[in-house]
Amino acid sequence: MKIRFKTMLFTALVTAMVVCSGPLTARAEEKQPEYGWQKEMVGGINLTQTSFDNWAQGGENSFAWQLNFNFKFVREEEKTNWANSGKFNYGSTKIGDEGSRKSIDEVRFESVLTYKLWPLINPYVSVMGVTQFAPGYDYGTDPKIQISAFFDPAYFRESAGVNYKPNEIIKTRAGFSIKQTVTTDFPVPYADDPTTPGVEKTKNEIGAESVTDLSWKVAESMLFTSKLELFSAFKTLDATDVDWDNLFTAKISKYFDVNLNFRLLYDKDISSRRQIKQAIALGVTYNFL
């Protein structure tokens, strides 16, 4: 029941966003399409450092860094739109005498090909992949236990359906989807089926997906982006996988900005509870393209 409530809540959110976008569509000025490739590549680094010497109030020295790299290549044609995007995020934190621990680690790629038939609703096919770069550890045990590695696990999803784009701010798509989970050294809990005698290192799921992207320029120097991904396997329709990533960026100058990130994950196969991550960072950003 709780999972169904979460699914209904996210569905209501997406519906509200789409409905509210109607007036924006009416007010937006018609723009002539620009055919060909549109390229964007942005990189940045965030640094945080604190040190103490004879500090009466207490505290521990700390140092944290995070590297971000994002790209988007879109080919616009009269009858098709081919959108390719990806990102690489990696960061590490060191507190006191403890060793460095990674704070963020994500490698993601997505490609969506849309065939233009109607003004707002059109068919699409897509493929996406998500993995990580460095080993991950469970520090709740002594000694620490490795629980993940590069490309272990890795997730892939191929989909086909229809998308809806009322304006340049919001777009959403839904359709049939096939999801693969691939692992080598960590089949539990990522891919193994506990009801079978063997140990599976690959898991295939057939279901339905919903992906909603929001890119809202709040002010001249403020941008809010949100991506909500839902996947429901046909065998377990009452347990919807949720990945909701939100980023608010405020640009201070040409190269400096402040980022506020909130991400919510839910995957019953990995954890029966939702996972939440939030981060605030000040960093340097550079546009390569």
Q: What is the CATH number of the domain that holds 266?
A: 2.40.230
Question: Under 8 Å CB-to-CB from 12, ≥6 apart: which residues?
Answer: none
* Domain membership flag for residue 211: yes
pLDDT of amino acid 56: 82
- Considering the chain, what is the average pLDDT of its residues? 88
Does residue 18 carry a pLDDT above 90?
no
Assign 24 a pLDDT band (cuts: 50, 70, 90).
very low
* Domain membership flag for residue 198: yes
Number of domains in the chain: 1
pLDDT-wise least confident of 17-31, 183-197, 207-221, 238-252: 17-31
* Domain membership flag for residue 31: no
Among the ranges 52-66, 101-115, 272-286, which has the highest mean pLDDT value?
101-115
d(CA 24, CA 36): 26
User: Which residues constitute the domain of residue 118?
Assistant: 2-25+36-287
Contact between 72 and 42 under an 8 Å Cβ cutoff? The reply is: no
* Domain membership flag for residue 281: yes
- Nearest residue to 78 via CA among 28, 25, 34: 34
Does residue 1 carry a pLDDT above 80?
no
* Domain membership flag for residue 190: yes
* Domain membership flag for residue 30: no
